[in-house]
Amino acid sequence: MIRFDQVSKRYAESGEVLCNLSLEIAAGEMVFLTGHSGAGKSTLLKLIGCLERPSRGQLMVDGRNVGRLPRRKIPFHRRQVGMIFQDHRLLTDRSVFDNVALPLVVAGLGHQEIARRVRAALNQVGLLKKEKSHPLALSGGEQQRVGIARAIVARPPLLLADEPTGNLDPELSREIMALFARFNKVGVTLLIASHNLDLIASLPYRTLTLDKGRLVADSHAYKNPEANPG
Amino acid sequence: MRRLQIPFVRLPGIWFGHHLQGALSSLGRLRGTPLPTLMTVLVIGIALALPGALYVLTRNLERLGEGWEQTAAISLFLKAEVSATKAEALARRLAGRQDLESVTLISPDQALDELRAETGFAEAVEQLETNPLPYVLALRPAQSLGDAASLEGLREVLTALPETDLVRMDTLWVRRFQGVVLLGERAAQVLASILALGVLLVIGNTIRLEIENRRQEIVIMETVGATHAFIRRPFIWLGVWYGLLGGLIAWSLVSLARFFMQGPVSRLAALYQADFLLVGLGPLALAVLLGGSLVLGLAGSWIAVSRHLAAIEPG
């Protein structure tokens, strides 16, 4: 599903954020990405979602060479990648329903189809009754679930989450992770960046560790649990 | 999981739907902020009303001038003792001149009839026992005789004729008047060009601010896979609405001005025993005004969008 081949990302201001990164994530995997802040976790996710382009190397996502994608094709790539952010990135002047519907509106679906899929997505995150609420009237955990519903509503094969539990208490964090595990069970590939090491350690998934832009550990826990150094 | 796929045949409908959605949502956005919208639209309307009003003014002056042009000629009054035969001979002689386009002989009887037909003179004419009017030659100078000097030369020649009593020349000031009207028309064009640039900047700047205000929303839309066209659309429509509404305001202002001017103009015309109805923009000029304002709105927003939207990238 995702293959980094000696990928580097350099910013004019902050220098090299990712260097010579090579890794592979198969379709249907659920993988954690961890490391100190500034290790390059967010940048890695942005490269996969084509919010940023690699400076060097080749990055393949679902058979598409993301680094070489023509500009006009980028939106269509992004529709195949659901993204979840720590700050939720919701439109505060629109209802929960409208926020979740956004990817479908953008893709040009009909009203009925949109309503059906939005309710299905809201149902999955347990917010069906809040569709008319405004995001600011919701708790942090609920807002994050709206963000998750928006990411899954178009049914992308790949979900990326950047610190999805960053602002949530352990109980809510666990709920969110359980939600992700459910998506994974139906075949969605997930890559979750988090520095919540306790939570990650308690879950049986493959963990990649980044440090100063380099891959320093890959547990492969999901494939062969014995190899897990933790 | 089933992927999001859209059948190709539905694409034109989607394109149209997106535009309708963009148009309506932009209109809704304008209605949501009535006061700022009104201010912007008024600025545009006033800017467009100025050249519009000047155009209407010159158009009316032109119409006024047209009426005069029919009579705008040289009237050559012959001495009272000049007989019909002599007058006819002179008319034939003058008709041969290169610098005269037409020569019409008006007999005293004809002139009296005309005078009688003119309002307010009928009673006075009835009082007369004999016809005091002389033979008159109505001369129309050739178009080639444009400048004042050659017209003056023609007048000297005519004055020197032994049959001539008086030469009255309306041509020169009518031409000057036409020159003024032409100047007004040109001024309207120049003013329109300058103010069009102003309107373009006003709309461009308004759209730029709108883009800045909605930066967060644009980033989110790009993140979930909105195309540039999709994001651009409501802003382009916003510009179109601004332009169109501004054009309508301009038209209302010009119509309102015409309405208020008609009273005094009618009164003034009545003093000259005439009837003068002010004309408005007319369908063609209205189409130009609305079409122009629409194009200005489109161009202004297009410039703003292509300059500022591309700078917003998610990250």
DSSP states of A144-204: HHHHHHHHHTT--SEEEEESTTTTS-HHHHHHHHHHHHHHHHTT-EEEEE---HHHHHTS-
End-to-end Cα spacing for chain B: 28
Tell me if B1 and A186 make a contact (CB, 8 A cut-off): yes
Q: What is the pLDDT of residues A155-170, one digit of tens each?
A: 999 999 999 988 788 8
Ordered structural domains, chain A, with CATH: 1-80+157-230 (3.40.50.300), 90-155 (no CATH)
* pLDDT value at A226 more than 60: no
Q: Which residues contact B179 (CB under 8 A, 6 or more apart)?
A: none
The pLDDT value recorded for residue B101 is: 81
Distance CA(A209)–CA(A195), nearest Å, equals 10
Contact B160, B135 (CB under 8 A): no
Q: Measured between CA atoms, how close is A171 to chain B, in angstroms?
A: 28
Contact B1 A155 (CB under 8 A): yes
Instruction: Give tens-digit pLDDT for A72-120.
Output: 899 999 999 999 998 889 999 899 999 999 999 988 888 899 999 999 9
The answer to whether residues B151 and B171 touch, using CB atoms and an 8 Å cutoff, is: yes
Three-class SS state of A60:
strand
pTM of the model: 0.74
In chain B, where are the structural domains located? 11-68+176-308, 73-169
Q: Give the Å distances, CA to CA, from A53 to A4, B139, B225, B279.
A: 12, 84, 16, 63
Min Cα separation A226/chain B (Å):
31
pLDDT for residue A46: 94
Q: What is the pLDDT of residues A126-152, one digit of tens each?
A: 999 999 999 999 998 899 999 999 999
- Burial class of residue A90, CB neighbours in 10 A (0-12, 13-18, 19+): buried
**Least CB–CB distance from A51: residue in B18, B226, B315:** B315
Chain A contacts of B14, Cβ < 8 Å? 108
Q: Which residues, 6 or more positions from B30, have their beta carbon under 8 angstroms from its beta carbon? A: B37, B238, B241, B245
Which tens digits make up the pLDDT trace of B130-146?
A: 888 888 888 887 766 65
**Which among B18, B217, B314 has CB closest to A51?**
B314
- The model's confidence at residue B129, banded by pLDDT at 50, 70 and 90, is confident
Domain B73-169 -> CATH class: alpha beta
Name every residue in A having a CB less than 8 A away from some CB of B: 46, 49, 51-52, 72, 75-80, 83, 89-91, 102-104, 106-109, 150, 154-157, 186-188
Give this complex's ipTM. 0.88
Q: Measured between alpha carbons, how far is residue A229 from residues A21, A24, A112, B138 in Å? A: 21, 19, 50, 117
